[in-house]
């Protein structure tokens, strides 16, 4: 088994291709879309979710089977066709073009694998079993997700408001790192867990002032996932 190197990709505006129109392909397409990717689906038939997304214009649907050369111009390709016999040829083209490639449930034809992901606003946890037992990754993700309540998302939203002030007013790495650890290890998260956002913000700003940082807040822009949810609503 290969030793996988975990990364988080910025797919904002990147062209990504999903080959296949089944439920698994739809799940991956929706995940890529939520990450800000420009998603194209290549399949002769698609499930209702993909057909609806195509009608809404959120994904591009090419209603045909894969042909050699179809991967040109894409940054990442996910392959989930009903006929897996074509995986090898598509993988070979992806390798030749230097494209990130994953064939679902087909590790020999994968340049990367998907982790089991828990998302809570800016908090993202990804767990992988290196393709050996994905079900274990799902169970571990659920266990950790139950331990981390909405107070962690609330903390990260607050931290995002002050991050620019901390970065610009405290440019030296060591004092900036020490400040963040003091903030993270403080009573702020327990205060948020108790629902006392006012006290949590006061505590946060007290740490900033103590470190010589003027607590200037920056308005939070919605995440891509939040924007996608708003559009869907």
The residue-averaged pLDDT of 144-171 equals 94
What pLDDT score was predicted for residue 231?
Answer: 44
Mean pLDDT, the chain, rounded, equals 92
Please check whether residue 2 lies inside any domain of the structure.
no
pLDDT at 107: 86
Q: Tell me, what's the pLDDT at 227?
A: 53
Q: 30: which 2 tokens? A: 């929706």
In a domain, 216, yes or no: no
Residues of the chain with pLDDT > 70: what percent? 94
Higher pLDDT, 107 or 62: 62
> What value does the mean pLDDT take over residues 119-146?
89
Give a yes or no: residue 229 inside a domain: no
In this structure, are 19 and 82 located in the same domain?
Answer: yes
Q: Residue 76, CB half-sphere, CA atoms under 13 Å: how many?
A: 23
Residue 169 belongs to some domain of the structure: yes
Count of domains observed in the chain: 3
pLDDT of 232: 41
Q: Are residues 100 and 27 in the same domain?
A: yes
- Please tell me the predicted confidence (pLDDT) of residue 8: 92
Confirm whether 3 is domain-assigned. no
CATH code of the domain in which 30 resides: 3.40.50.720
Rounded to a whole number of angstroms, the CA Rg of the chain reads 21
Mean pLDDT score, 45-73: 97
**Beta-carbon count within 10 A of 42 CB:** 25
Final residue belonging to a domain, choices 148, 169, 200: 148
Q: For 6-42, how does the pLDDT look when each residue is reduced to its tens digit (9 = 90+)? A: 899 999 999 999 999 999 999 999 999 999 999 999 9
Q: Which residues of 136-172 are buried (b: 16+ CB within 10 A; e: fewer)?
A: ebeebbeeeeeeeeebbbbbbebbbbbeebbeeebee
Three-state SS sequence of 166-209: HHHHCCCHHHHHHHHHHHHCCCHHHHHHCCCHHHHHHHHHHHHH
- Cα torsion angle, 172, 177, 180, 186, sign: negative
d(CA 104, CA 171): 44
pTM of the full structure: 0.78
CB atoms within 10 A of CB 178: 13
Across 150-159, average pLDDT: 95
- Give the residue carrying structure tokens 């993988």: 91
CB 158 within 8 A of CB 200: yes
Q: Is residue 226 part of a domain?
A: no
For the cut 70, the answer to whether the pLDDT of residue 228 exceeds it is no
For residues 144 and 157, membership in a common domain is answered with: no
Side-by-side strand order, sheet with 76-79: 59-62, 38-42, 15-19, 76-79, 100-103
Q: What is the pLDDT of residue 226?
A: 53
Domain around 137: 117-148
Q: What is the mean pLDDT of residues 191-207?
A: 97
Contact 57, 118 (CB under 8 A): no
Query: Given a cut of 70, is residue 162 above it in pLDDT?
Result: yes
pLDDT > 90? residue 53: yes
- pLDDT for position 219: 83
């Amino acid at each position: 088994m290969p030793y996988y190197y975990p990364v988080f990709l910025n797919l904002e505006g990147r062209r990504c291709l999903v080959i296949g129109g089944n439920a698994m392909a739809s799940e991956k397409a929706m995940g890529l879309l939520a990450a800000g990717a420009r998603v194209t689906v290549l399949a002769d038939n698609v499930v209702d979710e993909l057909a609806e997304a195509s009608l809404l214009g959120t994904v591009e649907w090419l209603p045909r089977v894969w042909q050699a050369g179809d991967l040109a111009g894409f940054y990442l390709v996910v392959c989930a066709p009903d006929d897996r016999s074509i995986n090898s040829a598509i993988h070979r083209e992806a390798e030749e073009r230097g494209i990130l490639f994953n064939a679902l449930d087909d590790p020999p034809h994968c340049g990367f694998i998907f982790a089991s992901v828990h998302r809570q606003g800016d908090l993202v946890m990804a767990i992988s079993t290196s393709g050996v037992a994905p079900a274990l990754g799902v169970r571990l993700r659920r266990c950790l997700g139950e331990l981390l309540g909405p107070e962690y998302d609330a903390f990260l939203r607050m931290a995002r408001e002050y991050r620019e002030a901390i970065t610009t007013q405290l440019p030296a790495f060591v004092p900036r790192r020490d400040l963040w650890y003091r903030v993270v290890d403080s009573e702020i998260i327990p205060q948020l867990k108790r629902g006392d956002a006012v006290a949590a913000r006061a505590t946060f700003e007290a740490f900033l002032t103590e470190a010589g940082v003027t607590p200037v807040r920056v308005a939070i822009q919605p995440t891509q996932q939040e924007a996608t949810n708003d559009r869907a609503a």
